[in-house]
Structure 1
Amino acid sequence: MELSKWKFRAYYLSAVGIANIGGWIYLLAINLMIFNTTGSALAVAVLYMIKPFAFMLMGFWSGSVIDRVSTKHLMIVLDVVRASLILFIPFLDSIWGIYAVVMIIQMAGAMFGPASFTYMTLLLPEDERKQFNAMLSFVHSGAFILGPALAGILFMLGSLEMALFVNTGTFLLSAGLIYLLPRQNRIDLSDSTNFTWGTIVQDWHLVWKFSKMAFPFVVVYMVFQVVMLLTAALDSTEVAFAKEVLHLTDAAYGSLVSVAGIGFLVGAFCTNLLVKFMSAKHLMCSGTILVSTGYVIYSFSMNYLMASSGFFILCFALALANTGFTTYIQENIPIDMMGRISSLYGMVIYSLQLLAVLIFGIAAHSFSVQAVVIGGSLFMLIISLFLIVSVNRLALP
């Protein structure tokens, strides 16, 4: 029984890792393909706006589907859909056709995330989730390093099209591993065939009712997510900061990204050790304050060494913060509503992220890049301190 349990977890972690590696290959290949086709940085920037739009479009209804179907089979279908669409991209000549296919791929990804999270929560006993989430962080960190490295090798040995074909294979392999997983036991699938617009509206009311009853949890959830969306907004200024403030060469900037990958990996390894001694909320709070500290160091840096130190600290701490947050929401969201709650909350967060990236982009164009990064990192630090106060004042578990 114990062997079977770890076999299934190995399948799940392998599927997530392979899909993440494929995701990095896809991201880099599609960015280069768009730039080579158009020669426009703006055309590439549009790609980064598609993802939050896709999550906004899916968020208001996808959770209603996730909570009413077998998440295992849903994940398989979504992986196959993404593999098929990526295979189709190299044969497209129109930039708008590529955008349309990317939008559908991102919409599938917007449903896959909450479905995968719900399945994982159902698969794991409550007392084993924190350790498993730490292992999951390690897998994500490994993919962060291996994905771009494999993409670079594929670009050198073949072409962008070949890289996308390999990417298709990674999603199909992920689907095959998910097929080997057990079908989880849902709490109630009796209403799975009654999916209508009225059902969606009813689900909104249920999520709203839960949010009012669990208001302290919602506060912590949203405050943490504000910190994370600020990281996304600051990341959008990363290249400009490296070039205009630090005056880094392309090679030096590449090594800075490598430092981030090492930080992720070391942080994930340490998280696997710390989960035995720290609660989910302590992992979340300590990780968040360290992420903000890393960004503050990075924002005030005037040379490579200081910037890389900040990068290492913030990426190291992301593993702590994400492991704590993932476990925390598993402890506080009812499993039978997890798809609906995470999808609707995600829609709100991605809407705010899109707005934040836009504001930071305009500010970086109007003022100095370093001033914007300093202001954003200090604001993140204030929000992180508010998170710690909220967790303590609201007496959360």
Structure 2
Amino acid sequence: MKSFKWKFPIIYLCSVGIANIGGWIYLLAINLLVLEKTGSALAVAALYIIKPITQLLVGPWAGSLIDRVSTKHIMVYLDVIRAILILFIPFSDSIVFIYILVFFIQMAGAIFEPASFTYMTLLLPENIRHRFNAILSFVHSGAFVTGPLIAGILFMIGSLKEALFVNVVIFLLCAALALLLPRQMSTATFENSRITWLNIRDDWSLVVHFSKKAIPFFVLYMMFQMVMLLTAALDSMEVTFAKKVLNLSNTAYGSLVTLAGIGFLVGAICTNVIVRFAPAKLLMIIGTLFVSVGYVIYSFSTTYLIASIGFFVLSFFLSISNTGFMTYIQSNIPTDMMGRISSLYEMLSSFIQIIVILFLGLASQWFSVKEVVIGGSILMFCVALYLTLLSANQFKRKLVQ
């Protein structure tokens, strides 16, 4: 570990940190811009369904591309493409055209995420991945806190369109930083080969074969993803719950979000210590369980104090669970198949996410928001508890063998 050079991982971390801050600026700016143009909360909500749809579209073939070409150059090209697409948004008066641009921006992001994850895995020796992931979690949490703050400052001193111009510069800066990274290729023997529909079909077969051989890993992966999908679905009702159930003011709700950012940051700091002593799988399991506990506390809250406790608990352990999850899948997925497996698994997760969001949306028409949030949090806890018990049983079987 001492001989490992941290120069390139630090460049990668800087790129990720800047990109995450830019992501917050873009997210808040595009939401407010669409709301400003349409005056419709439904039009804003539609933005959140675009991402899983694009992941469904790119999932079948993105992994085949990622595992065959330079992941570094994919990252550079996609950053430049997103910068160009965002540049067109401020000049558009058509809401339809803005949605089309957002669609392609999300499509580029759906390819970028598994490409970046694959590159990171190839860049790092296995013995330092857990520590790097803990630092990466800290970078994400820092962006969680500073991103909205910087966005708010930009909105105050300028316009939404000017904030998007800043976002263009951020993505170009990330592309420039990525150019400084070494050219890291997949270990696959067919790199730079043509990508055909026959290759894509064969890649699907390989992923299915891997999943059948690694059923315990696949089940744990999907159970974790189910908890994360439920968190995303419940987050879509967060504002309504805070305003209509808890009767919080805008200021009080804003402080809850800030508290969540602080919890994530503190969790990331603690993770950097814990990760040196605890295995990745344990971090993932314990973190996931307590994330669900935090949501249960929040869903049953009747006062700001109880809600804030729930928010802090879930955000604190979210950092721990994410770090454990990243290290766990890096240790269990072959590097030469990382792009294909992660892309297809993300596609499956996105399909489930759409169903969960639609189900909770329909449920909110039949039941009160509080009942839906409570039901979703209890379901999340049950899935997390099953994940914990399943992991414990797998551990017992290994001891017996």
Which residue in the other structure is 1:111 paired with? Answer: 111
Which residue in the other structure is 2:147 paired with? Answer: 147
The residue matched to 2:6 in structure 1 has which SS? helix
One-letter code of the match for 1:275? Answer: V
Cα separation, 1, equivalents of 2:237 and 2:357: 9
Cα separation, 2, equivalents of 1:185 and 1:141: 29
One-letter code of the match for 1:30? Answer: I
Which residue in the other structure is 1:37 paired with? Answer: 37
Which sits farther off after the overlay, 38-47 or 186-195? Answer: 186-195
**Shift in alpha-carbon separation, 1:198–1:209, aligned structure 2, 3 A:** same
Percent pairwise identity: 62
Which residue in the other structure is 2:310 paired with? Answer: 310
Query: What RMSD, in angstroms, separates the aligned Cα atoms of the two structures?
Result: 1.3
Matched, 1:254 2:241: no
**Shift in alpha-carbon separation, 1:185–1:60, aligned structure 2, 3 A:** closer
**Shift in alpha-carbon separation, 1:195–1:185, aligned structure 2, 3 A:** closer
Contact 1:75 1:116 in 2 (8 A): yes
One-letter code of the match for 1:391? Answer: S
| Deviation sequence 1:51-98 (CA, Å, 0-9, x none) | 110111111110000000000011000000001110111111111100
Which residue in the other structure is 2:81 paired with? Answer: 81
Q: What does 1:201-216 correspond to in 2, within 5 Å?
A: 201-216=201-216
What is the total number of aligned residue pairs between the two structures? 397
Contact 1:292 1:380 in 2 (8 A): yes
Q: What does 1:312-391 correspond to in 2, within 5 Å?
A: 312-391=312-391
**What is the TM-score of this pair, normalised by structure 1?**
0.98
Which residue in the other structure is 1:23 paired with? Answer: 23
Cα separation, 1, equivalents of 2:285 and 2:199: 36
One-letter code of the match for 2:354? Answer: L
The residue matched to 1:5 in structure 2 has which SS? coil
Which residue in the other structure is 2:168 paired with? Answer: 168
| Deviation sequence 1:237-290 (CA, Å, 0-9, x none) | 101100111000111111110000001100000000100110001100110111
Cα separation, 2, equivalents of 1:134 and 1:4: 17
Which residue in the other structure is 1:229 paired with? Answer: 229
Which residue in the other structure is 1:134 paired with? Answer: 134
Cα separation, 2, equivalents of 1:337 and 1:37: 43
Cα separation, 1, equivalents of 2:358 and 2:306: 27
Displacement of 1:359 after TM fit?
A: 1.0
Cα separation, 1, equivalents of 2:189 and 2:120: 18
- In the alignment, structure 2 segments of 5+ residues that lack a partner are none
Which residue in the other structure is 1:92 paired with? Answer: 92
Which residue in the other structure is 2:279 paired with? Answer: 279
The residue matched to 1:45 in structure 2 has which SS? helix
Cα separation, 2, equivalents of 1:4 and 1:280: 21
| Deviation sequence 1:92-112 (CA, Å, 0-9, x none) | 111110000000000000000
One-letter code of the match for 2:60? Answer: F
Cα separation, 1, equivalents of 2:191 and 2:35: 47
Cα separation, 1, equivalents of 2:184 and 2:74: 12
The residue matched to 1:360 in structure 2 has which SS? helix
Which residue in the other structure is 1:393 paired with? Answer: 393
Cα separation, 2, equivalents of 1:307 and 1:129: 34
Runs ≥4 in structure 1, deviation > 3 angstroms? 1-4
Cα separation, 2, equivalents of 1:188 and 1:207: 14
Cα separation, 2, equivalents of 1:51 and 1:324: 24
One-letter code of the match for 2:123? Answer: L
- In the alignment, structure 1 segments of 5+ residues that lack a partner are none
Displacement of 1:191 after TM fit?
A: 4.6
Cα separation, 1, equivalents of 2:145 and 2:3: 29
One-letter code of the match for 1:128? Answer: I
Which sits farther off after the overlay, 255-264 or 364-373? Answer: 364-373
Cα separation, 1, equivalents of 2:239 and 2:190: 51
Displacement of 1:365 after TM fit?
A: 2.4
**What is the TM-score of this pair, normalised by structure 2?**
0.97
Displacement of 1:2 after TM fit?
A: 6.4
Cα separation, 2, equivalents of 1:380 and 1:367: 18
Which sits farther off after the overlay, 2-11 or 302-311? Answer: 2-11
One-letter code of the match for 2:238? Answer: E
Cα separation, 2, equivalents of 1:339 and 1:236: 29
Cα separation, 2, equivalents of 1:182 and 1:84: 25
Cα separation, 1, equivalents of 2:386 and 2:102: 37
Displacement of 1:188 after TM fit?
A: 2.7
Matched, 1:219 2:219: yes
Displacement of 1:123 after TM fit?
A: 0.6
The residue matched to 1:394 in structure 2 has which SS? helix
Matched, 1:180 2:190: no
Cα separation, 1, equivalents of 2:2 and 2:172: 28
